[in-house]
Structure 1
Amino acid sequence: MSPTTIRLGTASPSTQASTAETVAQLEQIARRAASKKIDILLLPEAYIGGYPRGTHFGCVIGSRTAEGREEYLRYFQSAVDLGDTVGDGAGAGEAWIKRTLPGDSVPGATENGKAPAVNKRGDGTREQLERIARETGVFIVTGLIEKTGGSMYCSVVYVCPKQGIIGKRRKVMPTGTERLVWAQGSPSTLRAVSTTIRGVRINLAATICWENYMPLVRQSLYSQNINLYLAPTADGRDTWLSLMKTVAIEGRCFVVSSNMAVPPASSTTSTSIATPQQTNGQPNPIDSSAILAEEPDHDDDNTSPTFSGSSPFAPKHHSNRRASCLTEEGFEIALPRPKSPSAAGTNTFTSTASSTPSQAHTSNSTVNTFPPPSKRRTSVFDEDGNEIILCCKKPSHATTSSQTMAPSSVTSHRPPVAGSRREATSGNGEWISKGGSSIISPFGQVLSGPQWEDNQGIIYTDVDFEDCIRGRLDLDTAGSYSRNDSFEFRVKGLDLNPLPY
């Protein structure tokens, strides 16, 4: 490897049963990355903290349930505390990064019989990440669920091996029903950060999952003259790679994307959100959810989730599925069940026990048969992730249909998504999330990946960042090609002055 070559890497691990286990897994990945001489490592969205896929926290318009509030409490407890503030959605900014915020010691509280250390904020997750980067020498970028005050944010941290955390951003626009539990981050957190590796200056910034579909968010990064675009995500569809290639060409930058790969439900065991653990008298970071990633379309789950295994995150009482009726075409319409308020607070959790990785990537129909308590009709999913209920021979409701649909008549090109209750309980042997992590050149060439059905490996490639300059010969989206004399672009609270190379 020449002195000017930078090695970029990524992986597709999935959230473990607790934050302590996830951080331990992150450390193992970072140490393996160091052994491969990887300089910058990207890990998936919500990797630390988990994603509440399949639940609605007992909320419908005009009503909330007590069970849902308890579920929210447990999810909040599973998020990590980095010691930051709420602010205007940006946190404390430089004051938090430079550790100049006042300490959070509590009168009367002690640690190992001693007074709490002044200026120690958070639950220790920040310090663990900084230690891992420092000991491995790897620049780590990872997604996590961050809590502060009474709010949670889907965040990304930039962890430098020499300076510790040099930046953090919060998801500007949570997608769909994510908005129920995740607050909106400030656009000012879109600020790029810089690092220098072997004399090469790298300007990097991250967009999270479907933020990448927001052209103005992308433009805010291009305008800062980035040469490394990071896209932690939970979108494992084939179409995601096309978007990443577009971003690379559009921004004339290297693109690294990371998505969790979650094995089939048959190869996993039930996990749960554990209670906070203690190490040497000090609390470890709060244990995380085993819900592993988000589905690109978040509002298509119209069925009541059910829990598997014994989880303290689950309600104490299970409920039956909501009532439903069939249309003349054989489609099912789910109806709320007023006398079953506990139905709103149920869910399914799956974990990610290791299984044999496979590089085969296929797009097959997703056919599911739901388990008892009631005999659930077979269903399939269309290309957009919408569920289509197939007719059964003896409908349980008065509305019937003579039409039938064979499972093979509907083809889905959407891989099953991590954390989805439907795929997780299907037991059809398909991966819950196929992953798809990848590295793309400024000319749209796939340099490494996509990493399908592999939650163990690390993919990496050596790159020459001068390729970003070479690409600017004929396209500079935020400079000579942008017609700044005709179009004016600004972002509230964000300095768009381009960073130097």
Structure 2
Amino acid sequence: MNFGFSIGKRSEEGRKDWKRYYDASVVAGETAFQRLAEAARNTGAYTSVGFSERGAVNGTLYNGNAIFEPGGSYKVHRKLKPTGSERVVWEDADKGYFPVTSTPLGPIGSLICWKSYMPLARVALYQKGITIYISPNTNDNPEWQATIRHIAIEGMCFFVNAGMVIRRSSYPSDLHEGDVASRFPEYACRGGSCIVDPRGHYVTEPVWDEEAVIYTELDMGLPISCKMEHDVVGHYARPDVLELNVNEK
């Protein structure tokens, strides 16, 4: 969907679809968020949820991911740079760059979709010692599977790949731009959710063309033991030669 945007002009029909999407977006901290926080509290679970975030005091949208903690608190990460034509829908992150959640399994953080192709953004998470790297995304191609296995090895962390399954029928039939959605293939995005260990091996194989709940047990000794010979922000770094400065916000 492009909400009627083209270079130098917009369409009124697309504007109506955008307003519908805006209304369905969520303000962090308001009622819908509190319900998710309550669910995390009731289940004693750490929960990662992707969402379209609406600014509380402006008309701007951000591509967001929240990690809820068992106590009910949460941290929101905003996508640093929307990709391609996403830029006409979502703004660059202006805060929530690299939040990390402390858990009994170690620090957990996330980068949304193609932000995992930003090497320095990955290092910003590695510098915080993450053991579980979460990536909500729409990348249903073999190249992405190669990418996530590389990142797991590079960061010596577990990579949780949350690939979306989007069918043509997922789009509302009454969109003003319905003719655009009607031209999509049956699967606009095929998924590919999986978990990769710090050695780059699949803990769970990718799941394609269906929604699924993936259960597994993780050996949390691996992220440290694998760093014996390769620690990208430790003994395998050269801070005297290469240095990353992160503007936290």
The reply to whether TM is greater than 0.5 is yes
User: Which residue in 2 is equivalent to 1:134?
Assistant: 41
CA-CA distance at 1:165 after TM superposition: 3.0
Conservation of the 8 A alpha-carbon contact between 2:108 and 2:132: yes
Alpha-carbon displacement from aligned partner over 1:299-340 (angstroms, at most 9, x marks no partner): xxxxxxxxxx3x2xx33xxxxxxxxxxxxxxxxxxxxxxxxx
Which of 146, 159, 162 lines up with 2:68 in the alignment? 159
Is the Cα contact below 8 Å between 1:261 and 1:453 reproduced in 2?
yes
Are positions 1:439 and 2:195 aligned together? yes
Q: Match for 2:235: what amino acid?
A: S
Distance 2:49 2:73 in 1: 11
- Could you list the runs of 5+ residues in structure 1 that have no partner in the other structure? 1-53, 84-121, 273-308, 316-345, 350-419, 425-429, 495-501
2:113 maps to 1:209: yes
Which is bigger in relative contact order (C-alpha 8 A, separation at least 6)?
Answer: 1
After TM superposition, list the pairs within 5 Å mapping 1:85-164 onto structure 2. 122=30, 124-148=31-55, 149-161=58-70, 163-164=71-72
8 Å CA contact 2:163–2:192 kept in 1: the answer is yes
- Counterpart in the other structure of 2:79: 171
Q: Which amino acid aligns with 1:181?
A: V
Paired with 1:209 and 1:421, the residues of 2 have a C-alpha distance of 25
* Counterpart contact for 2:37–2:74, Cα < 8 Å: no
On the 8 A contact 1:255/1:440 being kept in 2, the answer is yes
Counterpart in the other structure of 1:489? 244
> What is the distance in 2 between the residues matched to 1:208 and 1:481?
26
1:293-372 mapped onto 2 (5 Å cutoff): 309=173, 311=174, 314-315=175-176, 346-347=177-178
Looking at structure 1, the residues matched to 143 and 231 of structure 2 have their Cα atoms a distance apart, in angstroms, of 25
Q: Would the aligned equivalents of 1:203 and 1:228 in 2 still touch at CA under 8 Å?
A: yes
TM-score, length of structure 1 as denominator length: 0.47
CA RMSD of aligned residues (A): 2.0
In the alignment, structure 1 residue 473 sits paired with structure 2 residue 233: no
| d(CA) in 1 for partners of 2:187, 2:84 | 24
Q: Deviations for 1:16-63, whole angstroms, at most 9, x for unmatched residues?
A: xxxxxxxxxxxxxxxxxxxxxxxxxxxxxxxxxxxxxx22x2222222
CA drift of 1:68 comes to 2.9
Q: Secondary structure at the match of 1:72?
A: helix
User: What SS class does the counterpart of residue 64 from structure 1 fall into?
Assistant: coil
SS of alignment partner, residue 477 of structure 1: coil
Contact 2:78/2:96, CA 8 A, preserved across alignment: no
Q: Which runs of 4+ in 1 moved over 4 A?
A: none
Distance 1:60 1:188, change over 3 A: same
Corresponding pairs, count: 247
Aligned position for 1:453: 209
* Matched residue SS, 2:120: helix
Deviations 1:141-161 (A, max 9, x none): 010001012111110001112
Query: Quick one: which amino acid aligns to residue 440 of structure 1?
Result: V
Contact kept, 8 Å, 1:157 with 1:165, in 2: the verdict is no
Q: Is the 8 A contact 2:37 2:68 kept in 1?
A: yes
Q: Which amino acid aligns with 2:77?
A: R
- For 1:485, give the aligned amino acid: D
Query: Percent identical across equivalent pairs?
Result: 32
Residue matched to 2:160: 256
Q: CA deviation at 1:218?
A: 0.7
Secondary structure of the residue aligned to 1:422 is coil
Distance 1:431 1:150, change over 3 A: closer
